């Protein structure tokens, strides 16, 4: 089946789905994005993703290209036209097309909008979750506004590649004090030997993941001991469990950090249970 993308107001066949060479996203990474899970053809936590999109745009002073309602319709139409049941929908908004100049283009320059959707291999993800994944740690060399979901992802790209080259699925960024910030495209969590679930506070040092937000609600609802605090790499090495969260990974157990087994080296019981239960706490739309 041929894929379809929404590009600046039109649904186009994949081969024709291109943007202008002077799109500021292409030239300056001057844009933002969102990735929303699609499950059973429905969008998961759309409202929270749209709220974060609005915030990212506002922080970068990029105009909202259309109403949130219209964006919702386009995302659904893109999902439907690509016949995605389980997968992801991606939206990217840049500051638009203008002659190359670092400063903002003239007021009224239309932001550029791209929406794509693709299926994920459900069974393969479940197999990965049943085995757990390896992560490696890398220094966090990003700017101070990683709370904005900008398409400027070069350190994340290099970190993920470093992980791949070491046979790992994810890289965890570590700040100057030896504390884990987050993964290259996921949030990072541990469960301590005392059974406390820990993740870093959502200050400017991490992206406030939507999966993270919903999981915190789930932890509270289940009465589990949860703390938002930074944890060191050493603490993670000695943790009972570790896991990562994102729209594409949901809750994914981590079984090795820098080559060392986490806990007994098998996916954690709590992480696996949280993965199983996550969608009970998510909003389906």
Interatomic CA distance for residues 268 and 176, integer angstroms: 28
Interatomic CA distance for residues 112 and 141, integer angstroms: 29
The angle formed by the CA atoms of residues 194, 199 and 204, to the nearest 5 degrees, is 155
Which residue among the candidates 149, 160, 220, 227 is catalytic per the annotation? Answer: 149
Under rule CB under 6 A, residue 56 binds ligand PDD: no
Under rule CB under 6 A, residue 282 binds ligand PDD: no
Q: Which string of x and - marks every residue 109-128 that binds ligand PDD (by CB under 6 A)? A: --------------------
- Cβ 142 to ligand PDD shortest distance, Å: 9
Q: By CB under 6 A, name the one of 55, 226, 248, 283 that touches ligand PDD.
A: 248
Contact positions with ligand PDD (CB under 6 A) in 199-218 = 207, 209-212
Q: By CB under 6 A, name the one of 246, 262, 263, 268 that touches ligand PDD.
A: 246
Interatomic CA distance for residues 271 and 199, integer angstroms: 13
Q: Quick check: 116 and 90 in contact, CB under 8 A?
A: yes
SS (H, E, C) 262-284: CCCCCCCHHHHHHHHHHHHHCCE
Q: Quick check: 42 and 285 in contact, CB under 8 A?
A: yes
Q: Is 149 a catalytic residue?
A: yes
Under rule CB under 6 A, residue 247 binds ligand PDD: yes
- Whose Cβ is closer to ligand PDD: residue 97's or residue 210's? 210
237: closest CA among 195, 218, 265? 265
Q: At what angle do helices 210-221 and 269-281 cross, to 10 degrees?
A: 100
User: Segment near ligand PDD (CB under 6 A), from 100-108, 128-136, 180-188, 192-200?
Assistant: 180-188
Q: By CB under 6 A, name the one of 56, 82, 116, 186 that touches ligand PDD.
A: 186
* Binding interface with ligand PDD (CB under 6 A): 35, 156, 182, 185-187, 207, 209-212, 245-248
């Amino acid at each position: 089946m041929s894929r379809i993308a929404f590009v600046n107001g039109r649904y186009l066949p994949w081969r024709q789905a291109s943007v202008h060479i002077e799109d500021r996203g292409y030239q300056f990474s001057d844009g933002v994005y969102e990735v929303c899970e699609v499950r059973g053809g429905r969008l998961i936590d759309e409202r929270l993703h749209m709220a974060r999109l609005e915030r990212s745009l506002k922080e970068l002073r990029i105009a909202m290209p259309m109403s949130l309602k219209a964006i919702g319709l386009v995302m659904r139409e893109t999902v439907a036209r690509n016949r995605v049941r389980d997968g992801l929908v991606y939206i990217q908004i840049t500051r638009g097309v203008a002659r190359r100049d670092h400063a903002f283009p003239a007021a009224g320059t239309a932001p550029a909008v791209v929406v794509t959707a693709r299926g994920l291999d459900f069974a393969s993800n479940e197999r990965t979750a049943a085995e757990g994944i390896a992560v490696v740690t890398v220094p966090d060399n990003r700017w101070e506004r990683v709370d904005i979901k900008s398409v400027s992802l070069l350190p994340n790209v290099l970190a993920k590649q470093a992980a791949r080259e070491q046979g790992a699925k994810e890289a965890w960024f570590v700040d100057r004090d030896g504390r884990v910030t987050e993964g290259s495209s996921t949030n990072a969590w541990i469960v301590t030997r005392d059974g406390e679930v820990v993740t870093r506070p959502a200050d400017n040092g991490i992206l406030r993941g939507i999966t993270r937000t919903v999981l915190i609600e789930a932890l509270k609802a289940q009465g589990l001991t949860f703390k938002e605090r930074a944890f060191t790499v050493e603490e993670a090495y000695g943790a009972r469990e570790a896991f990562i969260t994102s729209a594409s990974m949901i809750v994914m157990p981590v079984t090795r950090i820098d080559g060392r087994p986490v806990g007994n080296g098998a996916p954690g019981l709590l992480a696996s249970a949280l993965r199983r239960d996550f969608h009970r706490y998510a909003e389906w739309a």
